[in-house]
């Protein structure tokens, strides 16, 4: 074989190899329609992806009390664990499509104040709620819950039934439907900045004036700073008074596996050690069942099933996916609370 031929052969081999690489043969496989349907649940602003179904405000109220009220409050007004869903919109806002309160400032921004697309609310409830058991609601329940929230926000009447057929009508009533803009320079890398500074080097501007300092009451808000930096180097952390508001964790309690499991599984979001918050305090539960040898098993079943009525009307959601041994460890820890 001549040198020329050899070179051609070599080139052909290289080309063939490149082609094989470009195709990535043997990598991945076709997704089945059932697989795509199982995961492709997103609902867009133009309602692409919205499944058929319906739900009434009154059905929504029932589902809400059972699965949502413990975190968000009975009327979606709670600010205890998450920002409030409801509040801050007026009939005039519904007319204009711009929530006037957003320009004023001051109050906390609720979900209905910000919401510009009804699909956003539907999609999020469907994919991520309830908090500890996401993706377990039926489409009709999602319609019903969306209707209930809209009713709490005075956007639809109490007799309303929301469905895939009338989502667009509700969209046209959303108080902040005209409150969003995409006209700014922060979406694309080449977008135009909205603030233009210049890099002056000498005698720039007037003598600087301090306009804000950490307020005294916040000095200790982040714990003991000395423990947040190494004990050698060019600087140390300054010792600051630690605010009493920062709870000091007792090591003996922290080391209990039941405690870390309770924290990990979100129990402590509703049950505080000593004060009644959304649910009864841990100390209250322990005190009620002290000396009751069957309490542990009964409480394990209760946590799994959820319940209502023992401590008040706020229901506790069911926690069905907990491991038996984890659940027992948590209940044992709770029953030791003082």
Partner 1 sequence: MAQGDPAILQLPAHSTGLGQPVAARGYGKPSEYEKNLQRRESPGLTRVSQSSVAFAPLQGLFGIITPNGLHFERHHQGWWDIDPRQHRLMLHGLVREAKVYTMDDLMRLPSVSRIHFIECGANSGMEWANVAVPTVQYSHGMLSCCEFTGVRLATLLEHCGADVKKGRYILAEGADGSGLTRTIGMERALDDVIVAWAMNGECLRPENGYPLRLVVPGVQGVSWVKWLRRLEVGDQPWDTREEALHYIDLMPDGLHRQYSSVQECKSVITTPSGGQVLLNKGQYNVTGLAWSGRGRIRRVDVSVDGGRNWKTARLETPVLPKALTRFNMAWNWDGRPAILQSRAIDDTGYVQPKIAQLRAVRGTRSIYHNNAIQSWLVAASGEVSNVQVE
Contact between 1 and partner 1 per CB under 8 A: no
Q: Rule CB under 8 A: choose which of 18, 80, 138, 166 binds partner 1.
A: 80
**Which part of the chain contacts partner 1 (CB under 8 A), choosing from 119-127, 250-258, 307-315, 330-338?**
119-127
**Cα–Cα distance, 205 to 186 (Å, whole number):** 28
**Which part of the chain contacts partner 1 (CB under 8 A), choosing from 60-68, 93-101, 278-286, 288-296?**
93-101
Contact between 323 and partner 1 per CB under 8 A: no
Contact between 3 and partner 1 per CB under 8 A: no
- Residue whose token pair is 């952390």: 237
Q: Rule CB under 8 A: choose which of 34, 36, 249, 252 binds partner 1.
A: 36
Contact between 34 and partner 1 per CB under 8 A: no
Query: Nearest approach, Cβ of 226 to partner 1 (angstroms)?
Result: 8
Counted residue by residue, the chain has a size of: 338
Segment 189 to 208, residues that bind partner 1, using CB under 8 A: 189-191, 193-205, 207-208
Contact between 94 and partner 1 per CB under 8 A: no
DSSP line for 100-144: THHHH--SPPPHHHH---HHHHHHHHHHH-STTSTT-S-HHHHHH
Contact between 152 and partner 1 per CB under 8 A: no
Cβ atoms 177, 169 nearer than 8 A: no
Give backbone dihedrals phi and psi of 163, rounded to 5 degrees, phi first: -150, 175
**Which part of the chain contacts partner 1 (CB under 8 A), choosing from 54-62, 129-137, 158-166, 286-294?**
129-137
Contact between 161 and partner 1 per CB under 8 A: no
Q: Rule CB under 8 A: choose which of 161, 225, 300, 337 binds partner 1.
A: 225
Q: How far is CA 2 from CA 13, 15, 105, in A?
A: 17, 20, 82
**Cα–Cα distance, 93 to 154 (Å, whole number):** 11
Query: Nearest approach, Cβ of 312 to partner 1 (angstroms)?
Result: 20
Contacts (Cβ under 8 Å, ≥6 apart) of 282: 271, 272, 273, 274, 334, 337
Q: Per DSSP, what are the bridge partners of residue 186?
A: none
Contacts (Cβ under 8 Å, ≥6 apart) of 246: 220, 221, 222, 223
Q: Rule CB under 8 A: choose which of 6, 165, 222, 274 binds partner 1.
A: 222
Binding mask 259-298 for partner 1 (x = CB under 8 A): ----xx-x--x-----------------------------
């Amino acid at each position: 074989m001549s040198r020329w031929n050899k070179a051609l052969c070599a080139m052909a081999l290289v080309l063939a190899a490149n082609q094989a690489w470009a195709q990535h043969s043997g990598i991945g496989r076709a997704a089945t329609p059932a697989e795509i349907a199982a995961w492709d649940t997103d609902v867009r602003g133009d309602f692409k992806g919205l499944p058929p179904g319906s739900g009434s405000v009154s059905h929504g109220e029932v589902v809400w009390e059972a699965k949502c009220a413990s975190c968000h409050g009975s009327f979606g007004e709670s600010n205890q664990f998450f920002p409030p869903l409801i509040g801050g919109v007026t009939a005039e806002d519904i007319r204009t499509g711009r929530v006037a309160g957003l320009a004023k400032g001051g109050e906390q921004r609720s979900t209905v104040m910000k919401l510009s697309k009804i699909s956003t609310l539907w999609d999020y409830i469907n994919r991520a709620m309830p908090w500890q058991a996401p993706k377990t609601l039926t489409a009709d329940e999602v319609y019903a819950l969306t209707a209930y929230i809209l009713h709490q926000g005075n956007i639809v009447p109490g007799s309303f039934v929301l469905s895939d057929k009338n989502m667009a009508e509700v969209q046209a009533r959303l108080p902040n439907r005209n409150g969003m803009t995409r006209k700014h320079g922060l979406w694309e890398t080449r977008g135009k900045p909205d603030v233009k500074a210049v890099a002056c080097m000498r005698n720039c501007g007037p003598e600087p004036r301090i306009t804000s300092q950490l307020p005294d009451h916040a000095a200790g808000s982040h714990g003991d700073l000395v423990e947040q930096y190494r004990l050698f180097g060019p600087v140390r952390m300054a010792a600051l008074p630690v605010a009493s508001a920062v709870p000091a964790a007792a090591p003996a309690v922290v080391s209990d596996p039941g405690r870390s499991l309770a924290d990990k599984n979100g129990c402590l979001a509703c049950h505080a050690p000593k004060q009644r918050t959304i649910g009864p305090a841990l100390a209250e539960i322990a005190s009620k069942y002290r000396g009751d040898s069957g309490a542990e098993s009964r409480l394990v079943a209760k946590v799994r099933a959820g319940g209502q009525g023992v401590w008040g009307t706020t229901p506790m959601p069911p926690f069905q996916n907990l491991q038996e041994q984890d659940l027992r460890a948590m209940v044992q820890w709770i029953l030791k609370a003082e």
